[in-house]
Structure 1
């Protein structure tokens, strides 16, 4: 029988495959098999790039939005700060306080923008993050300005608004100024620190707009610090100097810089200013001819005598201000007036010139002469330094009276009702900044403060690089009205204890070809030896402390120089003859110490606006 016949299964047949059997077992319920998907390498890369792009794109978008907000906030802070300043000048307390608060809010928002996570990450990236780092540092300065300077300034500033400070009749309200002094001093210190912080903001390695903003911030903080420091200084000494603690008297000298002198120009006229509790009046307004030439001298020290003694500066008013150090001229004027007046000792001295008067006339408006002639900001310089000499070619007394009348009417208008006190203060500030208004006090505590300000017009007694070029007219004419100057100060790098430097001075005589009066163009000393229209100048270089003169040339020819010392600076004086229409170049070759500090070239306040070039590496 065939054993392969299929029959019914027994009860114990479970259907399981016997061990070793080749029979395929029946399937259970079917399930989806597991699948592993393997992508080609290119698709993995695409996904990775896409994901990264999304992250980077989101980061850049966030950063861009933050940058946009930061820009808006910084601009808003600037605009509100400007509004606060304008409100302060107008004496509007409410507007000043609200706009100052808005400026601080915007500055704080800009600070938050530039200290956010995306900004911090971006700023940390080498090179690429440079503009972000620069902007972050700038917002720190701006926030400090609105919080530590603008806010406190508003607190005291409204009492110092020009409309509040200058009262009707020209009287100054000095009590608020004195009361504000402590807070102003504190604010000035904060402004100085922030100005230093601004100077240290790192330059962006690219993105010129950021560097432009950086330069603007540095300039503005420097100007603000100077303004607040000067205001704090004024609050410290002005109340006493202007008569709060008792009447004061001052000698005021009107300088004619058509004939150059160290502090500006020849003493052409003078007056005595009397102040009491903020009110000022000018009397004894006189031409220089009222001062005699036989007064007793005063001793200003051996250095002064060595340089200027032969010109009798302490007895002859015509040479009283040969030195550019205004305290010398002021002490001489004090002495001359004491002897002329029978013993009155003024409390100080003030100097000004026709160009400063033009700034004042721009603020207070024109004055009218007795004959109806209008003296304005546009014509006062030409009238006093040129036209007057042509109008009165041989009548010195009439010319001096004409000039004195102009001065008297300008002073009278200044001490009357002022329509725009802020414009007047701005004009005074401009005159001071250019050295056209100088002040000296006979009270040592006040003078110690003045000497460190531009108002003091003093030669600094320090070691920093210095090139002070001083012109003194030696022809006795008025040709410096037509003189123009160029001054270049260059130095080698700081590679040793000393370095070579050169100061080049170019003087141009622009006197017109038209005939000028003998008084204007003639040569007082040895007339006829040089043609009329020739300018003759004593040119003094006040150099860096410790400097040695290697050589000096005038017009390309080696020249002789008189050596001396003034306020710790070596002084080298030589002579230049400048024909009409010609330029003469003077060159001082020096060996100077590699002293620390920024190089300075002070500008003697003459008629021209000289071209100054400084190429002196800081050591």
Structure 2
């Protein structure tokens, strides 16, 4: 017989039953969450597999994308419902497993917003839009096909951005295994899709007016020469003048650096003291140095003013491309005939325009004429409607992502839409999620030796903690410059390529002047060069700048290492690098700290 009094025995039984009930409830919740989580995961897997492809299809053929997006939207809705009931919400507040469930639920909710509230309505609105209608016919591009997309594209861009931010803001610190990996993948996917939809939204608003819907427009198109580096690509060796009138495109002029004064005595615009401390006043006095300042919103107005002083004409905007962009466009137009009798193709455009032309023509005027003729021939092929609209969009998208296509408008309302995009060509911006370096390279040889230089850039976090929470973090950038010039370059390459020692660099060698922009909010820990070179510097728009000079003989390599630190939540890093003649070399280098 029990020695405990009756009330105590009753309380014990109640406690035991309560514990048993709680255990049973925990088992039920675990089974409920597990089953629903497994089902939701299957839906999200299908979304992961199909979303990027469907977004690409939306740009190429909206009518074909709608059915697939409808199926993916149904998957997203199911995943959201499976992960948003009260039981799931309760389990999301438990230790350890709770953050995994909360993150999973956020991805599901964001998927629902991205697909059902952003992409599907946009695809539905675009069903009657033929992207091929953007292909010029008889020299005219009908921009009215975009009219019906302006409002739905803006709404879709807002929804897509909200969904991307929701995933980006997930705290990665407590996430483990497959959940952390899935969140990282979702972050990449959502950011990519959001950028694509935002680009479509801005394009639908910009393109009609920029192509002369409300009156003729004139644009100065700079062709940067990557064989002689400047921060944003290369010297402005040639330019063409493009006229747009109610969608009709025509070339109305061409000029080279020789068509402008050798150098303006005084800067054509006033530059801030912090800029002249780093770059002197040359970018505002010499056409060839226009893109030495790594901010196209500064460079383009300088180009516009130089052209006005030369011709008396104010252009409506300034664009910049390079021969690599021309090679991308030639992939869709096919080869074009040049005034010289050459056939310019996607395969030969880069070596022909950036190297072989200097072996063929000794006079700079002949080289510039060849350069301008090539750009004009490609533009004419586009104006004639050669190639598909989807091919043209793909080429221009790639060029923009690689910072090879830059645009600036003299109309403030249009420039406000361009600002902040990849084609704006502005200084890298560090935000709460991503620390961004700028690695901007300039030729100091006065030659075309940059064609033979390879800049290899890498990034590494000192301690790879997941992003999302502020913590002390150290980040290192490694730049290695290597010369591929032939050993006998001093005697076998023309003087126009080697520089002939005119500016103090021995023929065959190459001088690279670099400016490394540190991420905002980060302090410098160390900066070293394997050749013992020192660093000057300054500050540009709140960013510390390290300036160095390196001479490279044929076959030589020199490394530069810069380490910075900050107390930051950023878990991603990027380095924006001067685009080179090598189309396979990414001008944006990335590093990330994944979950776990």
Report TM bin, short chain: 0.7 to 0.9
Structure 2 alignment gaps of length 5 or more: 1-23
Structure 1 alignment gaps of length 5 or more: 1-53
Would the aligned equivalents of 1:522 and 1:533 in 2 still touch at CA under 8 Å?
A: yes
Whichever of the two has the greater Rg, that structure is 1
Q: Distance in 1 between matches of 2:445 and 2:216?
A: 41
Structure 1, residues 315-360: CA drift from partner, whole Å, max 9, x if none? 221222211111232122112211221x101111100001111111
Structure 1, residues 46-84: CA drift from partner, whole Å, max 9, x if none? xxxxxxxx9999999988875665455445556776786
The corresponding residue for 1:476 is 446
Q: From the superposition, tell whether residues 167 and 375 of structure 1 become closer, same or farther in structure 2 (CA, over 3 Å).
A: closer
Q: From the superposition, tell whether residues 487 and 55 of structure 1 become closer, same or farther in structure 2 (CA, over 3 Å).
A: closer
Match of 1:306 among 258, 263, 277: 277
Q: From the superposition, tell whether residues 395 and 87 of structure 1 become closer, same or farther in structure 2 (CA, over 3 Å).
A: closer
Secondary structure of the structure 1 residue equivalent to 2:228: strand
Q: Distance in 2 between matches of 1:547 and 1:426?
A: 36
Would the aligned equivalents of 1:275 and 1:281 in 2 still touch at CA under 8 Å?
A: yes
Greater shift in the superposed pair: 346-355 or 456-465: 456-465
The corresponding residue for 1:322 is 292
Q: From the superposition, tell whether residues 321 and 68 of structure 1 become closer, same or farther in structure 2 (CA, over 3 Å).
A: closer
Match of 1:256 among 207, 225, 232: 225
Task: Give, in angstroms, the shift of residue 302 of structure 1.
Answer: 2.9
Task: Give, in angstroms, the shift of residue 196 of structure 1.
Answer: 1.6
The corresponding residue for 1:357 is 326
Structure 1, residues 482-514: CA drift from partner, whole Å, max 9, x if none? 211233556778999998765443211122335
Secondary structure of the structure 1 residue equivalent to 2:369: helix
Q: Distance in 2 between matches of 1:288 and 1:535?
A: 22
The corresponding residue for 2:76 is 107
Q: Distance in 2 between matches of 1:238 and 1:544?
A: 33
> Quick one: higher RCO (CA 8 Å, sep 6+), 1 or 2?
2
Match of 1:420 among 382, 388, 392: 388
The corresponding residue for 2:424 is 456
Q: How does 1:408-557 map to 2 (within 5 A)?
A: 408-459=376-427, 465-488=435-458, 503-513=477-487, 515=489, 516-519=492-495, 521-526=497-502, 530-545=505-520, 552-557=527-532
The corresponding residue for 1:584 is 558
Q: Distance in 1 between matches of 2:522 and 2:26?
A: 60
Q: Distance in 1 between matches of 2:568 and 2:26?
A: 51
- Asked if 1:606 is matched to 2:577, the reply is no
Structure 1, residues 395-414: CA drift from partner, whole Å, max 9, x if none? 43433333333222111111
- Asked if 1:150 is matched to 2:126, the reply is no
Would the aligned equivalents of 2:478 and 2:561 in 1 still touch at CA under 8 Å?
A: yes
Would the aligned equivalents of 1:389 and 1:517 in 2 still touch at CA under 8 Å?
A: no
TM-score (norm 1): 0.78
Q: Distance in 1 between matches of 2:540 and 2:137?
A: 44
Q: Distance in 2 between matches of 1:499 and 1:99?
A: 42
Secondary structure of the structure 1 residue equivalent to 2:394: helix
Task: Give, in angstroms, the shift of residue 517 of structure 1.
Answer: 1.7
Task: Give, in angstroms, the shift of residue 154 of structure 1.
Answer: 1.6
Q: How does 1:170-209 map to 2 (within 5 A)?
A: 171-201=140-170, 208=177
The corresponding residue for 1:279 is 248
Task: Give, in angstroms, the shift of residue 616 of structure 1.
Answer: 9.1
Q: From the superposition, tell whether residues 103 and 170 of structure 1 become closer, same or farther in structure 2 (CA, over 3 Å).
A: farther
- Asked if 1:406 is matched to 2:374, the reply is yes
The corresponding residue for 1:140 is 109
Secondary structure of the structure 1 residue equivalent to 2:227: strand
- Asked if 1:336 is matched to 2:306, the reply is yes
Would the aligned equivalents of 1:505 and 1:585 in 2 still touch at CA under 8 Å?
A: yes
Q: From the superposition, tell whether residues 436 and 116 of structure 1 become closer, same or farther in structure 2 (CA, over 3 Å).
A: same
Q: Distance in 1 between matches of 2:521 and 2:95?
A: 44
Would the aligned equivalents of 2:358 and 2:494 in 1 still touch at CA under 8 Å?
A: no
Would the aligned equivalents of 1:80 and 1:102 in 2 still touch at CA under 8 Å?
A: no
Q: Distance in 1 between matches of 2:363 and 2:192?
A: 47
Structure 1, residues 238-295: CA drift from partner, whole Å, max 9, x if none? 3322212211111111011110001210111111111112222222123332222254
Q: Distance in 1 between matches of 2:49 and 2:231?
A: 43
Q: Distance in 2 between matches of 1:366 and 1:294?
A: 36
Would the aligned equivalents of 1:101 and 1:151 in 2 still touch at CA under 8 Å?
A: yes
The corresponding residue for 1:559 is 534
The corresponding residue for 2:234 is 265
Secondary structure of the structure 1 residue equivalent to 2:291: coil
Match of 1:378 among 310, 332, 347: 347
Q: Distance in 2 between matches of 1:127 and 1:84?
A: 35
Q: From the superposition, tell whether residues 376 and 488 of structure 1 become closer, same or farther in structure 2 (CA, over 3 Å).
A: same
The corresponding residue for 1:297 is 267
Secondary structure of the structure 2 residue equivalent to 1:425: helix
Q: Distance in 1 between matches of 2:551 and 2:118?
A: 52
Task: Give, in angstroms, the shift of residue 227 of structure 1.
Answer: 1.2
The corresponding residue for 1:215 is 184
Q: Distance in 1 between matches of 2:476 and 2:72?
A: 47
Task: Give, in angstroms, the shift of residue 313 of structure 1.
Answer: 2.7
Would the aligned equivalents of 1:273 and 1:281 in 2 still touch at CA under 8 Å?
A: yes
Secondary structure of the structure 2 residue equivalent to 1:313: helix
Greater shift in the superposed pair: 228-237 or 121-130: 121-130
Q: Distance in 1 between matches of 2:386 and 2:378?
A: 12
